[in-house]
Structure 1
């Protein structure tokens, strides 16, 4: 499995061949290698290049966890779990889930940008290396992690020419000059290194000490300044820094001078937008930039001014354009973000901008909450996922002040389905608990937040924790929270197989109905239907689930419709109803889930189909389906121990008893190797006999993805087809591009088709 946030290089990669070789050598000798060096030296790009080149050595894949966007050290492990596509729905912490997933895998884990969270990263890495014997970690940081067995490789700036290298030919031998020329030509296509400008470029690269980020920022100015003019300005900036910031190392002064030079070339509005947008932890869209840059009064920036400034900052390489799932987004390199943050603090407005940032995300969650139930759910899930790092940053900032922490109760209690879909019930529970610990006893929303936390605790089978939170919520006496309390009580009772699940669920449904809260009715209605079936009233359960389906179809919401179909399948299969109806409902639910990235729900549906086969006493098929479901549980780090544990345990044991251990394990193993899409569709056409399944130098999985790229499928469609996270598909594609030295998907498609045409590999197959 491969996961994480590796990106295809948007620009040429210069030098580092010796460094790449040394990193690969160290990875063959040690289980922890840390690339160190100042900001802007190129540690991240080097780590990404190496990770893409060593996939054959790690049969279970490469996982890339980028930590630059993270502001809260307590979220390091949760971020890694996200990158691995793991859910925290089992009764264990995020760390337990990650350890269970990695314990028997031979993987390379890349932890990028550890310096601001070095203590948390070191603690996590130490535990991972102790308990996961085949795991290898490649970290990037401005300082070492100081973990036993660590091999530290300082990454030096690019080689710079001596002062005597005055000709273009002599200068181009050096990587720093080549980088400047490449980047300058991207900005100004007519730029060439000539005998007339070679000395100025050499002098400039020497002034910048070959620091790649500084060289790139300087080259971005070539549209308005000559190399000689850039060098003159750089000399002046360095003189100021040399006298005013002697505590900075020389290379830090070089980078600082470059950044200040870029800042001075910006207009006043561009500088304001640069500084305000430094508040973002991750990438952001234009509407977010407008919100944090807007100021009340006639002097405030309007949307058009922000748009023009963003355009100018992209042109000056201060902002990088990123293609988002729902809109074009922008991100800022860490060194530039830190500079902007310093400017905000110096002006005394950092807290005001942070509040605007938080308020933007409060409004965003409110919009998502209003539109979640219906056809825009996937849009909002993608948009919130894109901004998850900033949601965390907004929550963390609000927790610093008890008066602001009350906002966390509202933010974290709203679109709970978003957090559940991410497999982050532990995370939302933690945000709620931290906010409850610092807000006043009479703060609005406390009772509802306690009820939400109880629901999350129940999802982890922490029934004692859930009951404790329910008691705290009940003691508040908030009428507005009553249906939420009933909902949580019903779920606890259902999981614990205790009385009153039906009554509490029915009361929650009644109150939510009276309030017109259709979406809030649906999960309690599911609980009510299953509890009704437990009492032997199949007709009543069917009626409730039919109403749930009607509401979902009217709203055009597939996610809750899948839940309703799963409920119907459970009622018919497990409680002695119509097996044909139940199996069809499970298949319909699975078809919905396989269209999206919800691996956890798909696991439940496949498990349900195994129940149907067991009820029919088709034991071999049941065992295969249990095996396929087990692979899905494993992919998201979950277990079938919530809501369906009784059906799962009873029918799994019945299947094993009927087949015996040997035959069961054989059929179960066959199922584990099966793609769940095959359950619903006819078997795919086999690869041509005259061509191997693997397209050298790609691995089998990379070959499979390359062929799907050749059919025109997007990364999201590939992820859905293969039942993997979209991040996983993106990282596989990154490795394919690196291995083949190609620049884009079109070139991959041409390469695959040429392989097929020459008879050296299978064709792309059906779309």
Structure 2
């Protein structure tokens, strides 16, 4: 996740208090390069960090990055998660840490590491390396304990101020932040609620009992529809002593929070308690179907719906609106409580198995439906559930005999991992599963071949060959076409013999099995290898077949690959330059409609080859520059699959222009938006360019796009930035303007528009 609790746009509520804390945190960020906000769960560390991050964007011209770690359970993935938040791919021949360092080293950036406490060692190590090697980086962390890194400034976050016992009137009580928070949340639940002289003392007393902990106050306020403030206070007063007796080892404030959570749990129905406990297995947000699956052992489907609705009403579950539908999530403290209840009941393992099985089925369904018009929908669904896919894989590797399921999950929809720029991650999952799976585990040879393909994508040809040898040592007919596919790719990259023969064999066997999608990348390799041998007509025939298969299935992603293949054949191997250039443009148009920056980089590079072939050297240099920006944005390098064309034509362009003219044109290209290459009509560009105070120029641009109705994904595509970066900018806009949703942003922008000019 790239936003922690309270940093998402899905559950925004008004923000109460903390003005002094915000000022102090900003002061510390001006003095130190690592500031850690500490305090018990529920005290508001994440929300405070989000507010501060939104308010200091001008001080960090290269951006504010929020890496939420609450959903992460595997410390080895901390750096990979940060790379995800930066929109970096791991396709280059370097580690995730190398990629992150290369991206941040020369940037003035604020990095927020949110919810570090369960991964504190990993976070401390990462923060230390980043701060040593990135001189302009500043880190703001939230954790229940300090990171222990040299130079760290620790700021304990206290609960909200509560009234003294003498507070009896509305005027006395409302002066305190805890009371204002209670009133604010109670009014959201029951709009007719008012703080009056009759209930002020009860509300003040309740806030004192809860030690001013924001989460505890919010949970209590959620009961206002059924109970008066006096009744809530009476029940809390009677129950706190009993509920805290089992937690004497905890600090007083944590005992109060614990007691509040237990009280909320005890007031839930049996079905709601069962749903709360079962749903605590989720690492991230989940939809109703997932909840029904994991709760099925204790509840039927209709009961799950009612229980989820009740938990939302009681502020136990937060409702999250997203592009893929309504989802739900638990705050971390409530999730931990549910996990404890599961463990105490001895049902944690069975619920975790149901969670794993749900995500194994999800991946299998995605694999079956990936090729075709639903590809983008499946990419969005799996991206939303990535934290839980990781959790399911981790559980499978920890449990004896379950690694075979991890092999199947990681091997299934390989395109998803590649589209995320996570070839290295899926390769690690495969390697870890292979290390613990039985020698005769089904799917072992296929998994080795898939791992070999991922190694080749990192230009680790030796690692790929070693895995292929291991795959071939296993007698498994099912794995043969996967081995041939990977062998062909390795040979193509190494410019070795037999790429064509291996690719053709993979195409043949996958075709006999009716697995059209799995034919396509081998068919691309076969076509390029055929062109290498001088048979342009044969290469064109293969790519025509590939295009026909893609068009019949309405699959745009593989169609882009086929067009790129056609462009490569025509441009680099002496074919029809006009046909090749148009194919590259058509492929780029497809890629710029989606999140695949890496593919767009290849297509722009291909257009640079076309300009070089025409000896339009300034245009070629500009296009190489635009491509370089895209390579950089996804942390990749143009040395996979097309390295020969890239190296030869880049060198020719540099030589023709001379160093000074080349660098000037290259720099101009680096500043260009790739959409401009396609000469998009002016109406597709955001209207207006003026800054909308108090927003920055980039925030103003994104606010205008929000006002036109674009989703975060569409904004990311339009601006060629990571979707996670777009989400962070939208969050900053909402926080800075103190608005609750995108509709209010649209109204705010349109109020500032010139008459007749459209959105601002």
**2:232 aligns to what?**
230
* Cα shift at 1:692: 6.3
Alignment partners' CA distance in 2, 1:108 and 1:388: 25
CA gap 1:243/1:699 in 2 versus in 1, 3 angstroms: closer
CA contact (8 A) 2:12 2:741 kept: no
Q: Root-mean-square deviation (CA), in Å?
A: 1.8
CA contact (8 A) 1:3 1:725 kept: no
Counterpart check, 1:750 vs 2:751 = no
Match of 1:143 among 119, 142, 145: 145
Alignment partners' CA distance in 2, 1:305 and 1:638: 48
**2:371 aligns to what?**
373
CA gap 1:40/1:684 in 2 versus in 1, 3 angstroms: same
Q: How does 1:725-740 map to 2 (within 5 A)?
A: 725-740=722-737
Match of 2:70 among 68, 71, 76: 68
CA contact (8 A) 2:319 2:327 kept: yes
Q: Which moved further from structure 2: 676-685 or 25-34?
A: 676-685
Q: How does 1:405-554 map to 2 (within 5 A)?
A: 405-554=403-552
**2:579 aligns to what?**
581
Match of 2:136 among 131, 134, 137: 134
Match of 1:671 among 669, 672, 681: 669
Match of 2:354 among 341, 353, 356: 356
CA gap 1:242/1:268 in 2 versus in 1, 3 angstroms: closer
CA gap 1:108/1:600 in 2 versus in 1, 3 angstroms: same
* Cα shift at 1:249: 1.0
Match of 1:706 among 703, 708, 714: 703
**1:269 aligns to what?**
271
Q: Could you give the per-residue CA deviations for residues 706-764 of structure 1, whole angstroms, max 9, x where no partner exists?
A: 222333333222221111122222221222223333333333333333433389xx864
**1:387 aligns to what?**
385
CA contact (8 A) 1:3 1:85 kept: no
CA gap 1:239/1:183 in 2 versus in 1, 3 angstroms: same
CA contact (8 A) 1:4 1:84 kept: no
**2:87 aligns to what?**
85
* Cα shift at 1:230: 1.3
Where 2:139 maps in the other structure, the secondary structure is: strand
Where 1:411 maps in the other structure, the secondary structure is: helix
Alignment partners' CA distance in 1, 2:193 and 2:234: 19
* Cα shift at 1:179: 0.5
Q: Could you give the per-residue CA deviations for residues 540-572 of structure 1, whole angstroms, max 9, x where no partner exists?
A: 000000000000001000000000000000000
**1:204 aligns to what?**
206
Alignment partners' CA distance in 1, 2:538 and 2:684: 47
CA contact (8 A) 1:402 1:440 kept: no
* Cα shift at 1:32: 0.4
Counterpart check, 1:293 vs 2:290 = no
Q: Could you give the per-residue CA deviations for residues 149-169 of structure 1, whole angstroms, max 9, x where no partner exists?
A: 100000000000100011111
Q: How does 1:90-129 map to 2 (within 5 A)?
A: 90-129=92-131
CA gap 1:687/1:243 in 2 versus in 1, 3 angstroms: closer
Where 2:620 maps in the other structure, the secondary structure is: helix
CA contact (8 A) 2:601 2:627 kept: yes
* Cα shift at 1:224: 1.1
CA contact (8 A) 2:89 2:421 kept: yes
CA gap 1:489/1:96 in 2 versus in 1, 3 angstroms: same
**2:16 aligns to what?**
14
- Name structure 2 gaps, 5 residues minimum: none
Where 1:111 maps in the other structure, the secondary structure is: strand
CA contact (8 A) 1:103 1:132 kept: yes
Alignment partners' CA distance in 1, 2:747 and 2:497: 63
* Cα shift at 1:584: 0.4
**1:322 aligns to what?**
320
Match of 2:42 among 34, 40, 43: 40
Q: Could you give the per-residue CA deviations for residues 116-157 of structure 1, whole angstroms, max 9, x where no partner exists?
A: 000000000000000111100000000000001100000000
* Cα shift at 1:172: 0.3
Alignment partners' CA distance in 1, 2:436 and 2:752: 62
Q: Which moved further from structure 2: 21-30 or 713-722?
A: 713-722
Where 1:33 maps in the other structure, the secondary structure is: strand
Where 2:22 maps in the other structure, the secondary structure is: helix
CA contact (8 A) 1:594 1:720 kept: yes
* Cα shift at 1:246: 1.3
Counterpart check, 1:183 vs 2:181 = no
Alignment partners' CA distance in 2, 1:360 and 1:749: 38
Q: Could you give the per-residue CA deviations for residues 224-243 of structure 1, whole angstroms, max 9, x where no partner exists?
A: 11212212221233211443
Where 2:35 maps in the other structure, the secondary structure is: strand
Counterpart check, 1:656 vs 2:654 = yes
CA contact (8 A) 1:237 1:260 kept: no
Alignment partners' CA distance in 2, 1:739 and 1:246: 41
Match of 2:592 among 576, 591, 594: 594
Alignment partners' CA distance in 1, 2:85 and 2:112: 11
CA contact (8 A) 1:755 1:763 kept: no
Q: Could you give the per-residue CA deviations for residues 631-683 of structure 1, whole angstroms, max 9, x where no partner exists?
A: 11111111111001111111011000000111111111111111101111257
Counterpart check, 1:160 vs 2:170 = no
- Normalised by the length of structure 1, the TM-score is 0.97
Alignment partners' CA distance in 1, 2:53 and 2:267: 37
Alignment partners' CA distance in 2, 1:261 and 1:78: 38
**2:252 aligns to what?**
250
Q: Which moved further from structure 2: 282-291 or 319-328?
A: 319-328
Alignment partners' CA distance in 2, 1:408 and 1:114: 27
Q: Could you give the per-residue CA deviations for residues 431-462 of structure 1, whole angstroms, max 9, x where no partner exists?
A: 01111111111111110000000000000000
Where 2:320 maps in the other structure, the secondary structure is: strand
- Name structure 1 gaps, 5 residues minimum: none
CA contact (8 A) 1:619 1:659 kept: yes
CA gap 1:685/1:200 in 2 versus in 1, 3 angstroms: closer
CA contact (8 A) 1:63 1:108 kept: yes
Q: Could you give the per-residue CA deviations for residues 457-493 of structure 1, whole angstroms, max 9, x where no partner exists?
A: 0000001100000111111111110000000000000
Counterpart check, 1:559 vs 2:557 = yes
Counterpart check, 1:304 vs 2:305 = no
- Normalised by the length of structure 2, the TM-score is 0.97
Q: Which moved further from structure 2: 182-191 or 614-623?
A: 182-191
Q: Which moved further from structure 2: 502-511 or 235-244?
A: 235-244
Counterpart check, 1:721 vs 2:757 = no
Alignment partners' CA distance in 2, 1:75 and 1:107: 21
Where 2:227 maps in the other structure, the secondary structure is: coil
* Cα shift at 1:685: 7.9
Alignment partners' CA distance in 2, 1:607 and 1:4: 33
CA contact (8 A) 1:574 1:647 kept: yes
* Cα shift at 1:194: 1.2
